[in-house]
Structure 1
Amino acid sequence: MKAPGSARSWGWTWRNRAAPAGEARAPRLPSAATPPRWLRELLPRGLLGRSVLIILAPIILLQLVALQLFYGGHLDVISRRLAGGVAGDVAMIVELLRREPPEDRVWIFREAAWRLDLSLAFEPGARLAPVERRASMPLLPLEEDLNHALMERVQRPFDTDWQSDPRSVIIRVQTEEGVLHVEAPRKRLFTATLYLFVIWLVGSALLLSAVAVVFMKNQVRAIHRLAVAAEAFGLGRDIGSIKPEGASEVRQAALAFNRMQDRIRRFVGQRTEMLAGISHDLRTPLTRMRLTLAMLPRGSETEEDLSALTADVEEMERMIAAYLAFARGEGTEQAAPADLVALVQDVAAKARRSGAVVEVVAPPALEMPLRADAVRRCLGNLLDNARRHAGRIQVTVETAARGGAEGALWAQVTVDDDGPGIPAAAREESFRPFATGAPGGTGLGLAIARDIVRAHGGEIALEESPLGGLRARFRLPV
């Protein structure tokens, strides 16, 4: 069974490299719906983040509009009215002090404290000193509105102190006789509605965010499990049926995935049974032919013909075994943790016993999930091809970073030889079944190798070797 690994970015790049020279590739035109690059950089990459953003963005925008309307409308009007009321009281007190002689001003101080909630103090002969004004509430228009109202209604030099007392605002007004100190409670200038409004905005945003994250996390978890199951099934691992959960569309996708798994398993099982019957039916007459050839009388005139027939029968048996192995696709073996380096060393040792000169460059060990027999067959086919056409073979095992997955690695195996190689235009054709470029071959070695590599979720490619011959390189996800 082949895994859908050909859509991986690494394999796509290599297939484009293998395109015939001079063949123009169609440029990728930008879509009108594609957002700018800087916006794509800011957007979340995961489905959970994007779903929450889609839910919260309109709500937060609506709250910002409401807040702006509150600041530009309600708060501005209320602030001006409250400031105008305090400024009007101060202006009236200043006017009363101007009209009343000093000995008759006691009632003004008493009435201001009782009826206006303003504490008064008078400093005869004093002059206002310049004071550095610092905004104590930069986000609110209170200070600006109070200063504007005092300028309109008092029409005398003044200053305001918002720093000395956290509960009061001290207003100092310059008169002809001295400085009037007015201590006004801040509650006369400030309304708690702003606090309630901001708390409502922030609290509702946080509550909606929590609900959206919890809800969407449950939905995304089902999609993530479906993606993991599809990836594992594509790598040839038996994961069993997945439990449908989440939204109805996700449940429908999970049920469709389970049905697809069942159909593929039945197809593979039926094909395996059929191939077992074909193997028996084909090998039985071949065995009878071998026995008949062995029992025929030998003579000087027939020895050469009998030897040729025996060789033909052996070649037919070998070709049938290769065809069946290709059709079987190593689909029955399950992936299990294995040491790739030890596997490569074992296959290289067998190639040396067959007369090949093989050098292995590899780390001490590389543990990863593998279908060991299938990978052993893949590497054996590559070494067998190199041994038939070259005198020196070098096998390199290393790791490389996988694009698009943070922290993920490829296990890369490279087979270099010093043979005649394959022209660039014919390398992709070499992977086709039954395409053979040399006598004695079945044309299935590279086809089986690519089938096995793709079943692991990897990709294989042919390149020019630094040794002067052919380089066969395949990568498997660690």
Structure 2
Amino acid sequence: MPRFQPFRPLKRLLPRDIMARSLLIIVIPLVLLQIITAYVFFDRHWEIVSRRLNTAVASEIGLIARLIYTYPGEETREWAFSVARITQGLVFRFSPGGQLPSIPAQRSDPIERALRQRIGNYIPYPFTIDGRPGEGELTVHMQTPGGLLSVDVWKDRLFTESIFLFVFWMGGSSIVLFGVAAIFMRNQVRPLLRLARAADAFGKGREAPDLKVTGATEVRQAARAFIAMRDRIRRQIDQRTGMLAGVSHDLRTPLTRMKLQLAMLEGVEGVDDLRADVTEMERMVEAYLDFARGTGTETAGPTDLGAVLEDVVDRHRRAGGTIFLTVAQPITLPLKRQAFERCIGNLLGNAIRHGDTVTVQVLLIDDHVEIFVDDDGPGIAPADREAVFKPFQRLETSRNLKTGGMGLGMTIARDLVRGMGGDIALLESPQGGLRVKLQLPL
């Protein structure tokens, strides 16, 4: 029974590269801290400062309103209005017989809403507030027994700009911290990317530039381990290549002497059988050496894929094979040319041996190339397709090399393709026989 994973949909939304994930580890706590700080500070700061400012303005308005109510008279009213304008910045107006205007409350204006909550405690008259959206002042209208009393209040007196200053510094510091974190993480991730590119190039059999050991201690340790592994593999390849060169020379020399001696024994009974045995031994030695040699020390270089395939196909056509080649478009990719020609040659040889018509098709798909080799032969059963890649594994049960070969062709082909970073697979061909699918990276 599969385990329930509640966070699996969330994982799909997360970035996959290490730099983005590292930045998220830094940014998410920073953003949460900013949100909590802003909520707590703004809520308390706005409430306290707004209450004090609006209480002060409301009390000043209430003081003038009660003063002219207690001491009626035009001279007292003008004197009170003058004092309020000079000392408090409040501009009062009185309209005898005026009526309170009908102005709907602006619920979305926090300044008007805060003043409305406070002013009712300080004036004994019905009132309304004209917030004047987009302007720098608002007007409070009060219905007194003698008429309409209005006062203009600058909105700057009702709130503080320190909140916006705090928001600016908080946002600015967050951006600066995020930039510093991004630069730091990029410098930490860059050695990992270089290591990944070097490992990828080495795995594809391509020459990679020398890897510079930089970064954190763990990254340096991984880079040194990779360099040591690469050097050991190269030494092993060099040693094997040198050994094979010696084996090839040591085996071919006695075979050459045997062929010369057989040439001097023309007409002797049994010479033809011995000559056939020597030829078979040469083929066996070459097959063994090809299998052990693998991709050798050949380096990959930019290669015209269509031109290489045309050369190999032409050679097999001259040998009597019926082969059709289709290349969708010109393709240039890093290849070990000799290894690739040997691989395609093995595949075409098998296809011609078991079928009458062979089709080679090349397709460019995203970041890789796919090559299909189809024949109209008997094909291979799905259960036996993996077995043909094993060394010396022959589906043809006889020991006749002309019909079954050495059982190394497909093994060498897969070894060569994987040495260039690709892969090979066996499928059912549309022609009824076997389809060999090669995939090579660009």
TM-score, normalising length from structure 1?
Answer: 0.87
Is residue 400–residue 411 contact of structure 1 (8 Å, CA) maintained in 2?
Answer: yes
Equivalent residue letter for 1:294: A
Matched with 1:374 is 339
Q: Does 1:61 align with 2:32?
A: yes
Matched with 1:77 is 48
Equivalent residue letter for 2:180: V
Structure-1 separation of matches of 2:413 and 2:100 = 94
Percent identity for Structure 1 against Structure 2: 46
Equivalent residue letter for 1:377: R
Residue by residue over 1:215-273, the C-alpha shift from the partner in whole angstroms, topping out at 9 and shown as x without a partner, is: 11111111111111111111111224211112121111111111111111111111111
Secondary structure at 1:152 match in 2: coil
Q: Let me know the Cα RMSD of the aligned residues.
A: 1.9
Is residue 136–residue 162 contact of structure 1 (8 Å, CA) maintained in 2?
Answer: no
Matched with 2:92 is 120
Deviation at 1:142, TM superposition (A): 3.0
Equivalent residue letter for 2:14: L
Matched with 1:173 is 142
Structure-2 separation of matches of 1:447 and 1:164 = 82
Is residue 206–residue 420 contact of structure 2 (8 Å, CA) maintained in 1?
Answer: no
Is residue 418–residue 467 contact of structure 1 (8 Å, CA) maintained in 2?
Answer: yes
Q: How do 1:116-155 and structure 2 match up within 5 A?
A: 116-134=88-106, 137=109, 141-155=110-124
Q: Does 1:355 align with 2:310?
A: no
Residue by residue over 1:51-88, the C-alpha shift from the partner in whole angstroms, topping out at 9 and shown as x without a partner, is: 11111211111111110101222221221221122112
Structure 2 residue runs without a partner (length 5+): none
Bigger mean CA deviation after superposition, 120-129 or 382-391: 120-129
Matched with 1:429 is 387
Equivalent residue letter for 1:323: Y
**Which structure would you say has the larger RCO, counting Cα contacts within 8 Å and 6 or more residues apart?**
1
Q: How do 1:43-442 and structure 2 match up within 5 A?
A: 43-103=14-74, 104-134=76-106, 137=109, 141-163=110-132, 166-299=135-268, 302=269, 305-401=270-366, 409-438=367-396, 439-440=400-401, 441-442=405-406
Deviation at 1:297, TM superposition (A): 5.0
Matched with 1:444 is 408
Structure-1 separation of matches of 2:171 and 2:78 = 49
Matched with 1:405 is none
Structure-2 separation of matches of 1:248 and 1:31 = 38
Secondary structure at 1:413 match in 2: strand
Structure-2 separation of matches of 1:339 and 1:345 = 10
Is residue 389–residue 414 contact of structure 2 (8 Å, CA) maintained in 1?
Answer: yes
Secondary structure at 1:105 match in 2: helix
Secondary structure at 1:312 match in 2: helix
> Relative to 1, partners in 2 of residues 1:225 and 1:135: Cα closer, same or farther, differing over 3 Å?
farther
Structure-2 separation of matches of 1:331 and 1:170 = 91
> Relative to 1, partners in 2 of residues 1:389 and 1:464: Cα closer, same or farther, differing over 3 Å?
same
Structure-1 separation of matches of 2:12 and 2:152 = 54
Is residue 87–residue 146 contact of structure 1 (8 Å, CA) maintained in 2?
Answer: yes
> Relative to 1, partners in 2 of residues 1:266 and 1:421: Cα closer, same or farther, differing over 3 Å?
same
Is residue 42–residue 163 contact of structure 2 (8 Å, CA) maintained in 1?
Answer: no
TM-score, normalising length from structure 2?
Answer: 0.93
* Off by >6 Å, runs of 4+ in structure 1: none
Structure-2 separation of matches of 1:271 and 1:134 = 88
Is residue 168–residue 184 contact of structure 1 (8 Å, CA) maintained in 2?
Answer: yes
Deviation at 1:319, TM superposition (A): 1.5
Is residue 111–residue 155 contact of structure 2 (8 Å, CA) maintained in 1?
Answer: no
Is residue 136–residue 163 contact of structure 1 (8 Å, CA) maintained in 2?
Answer: no
Structure-1 separation of matches of 2:107 and 2:294 = 78
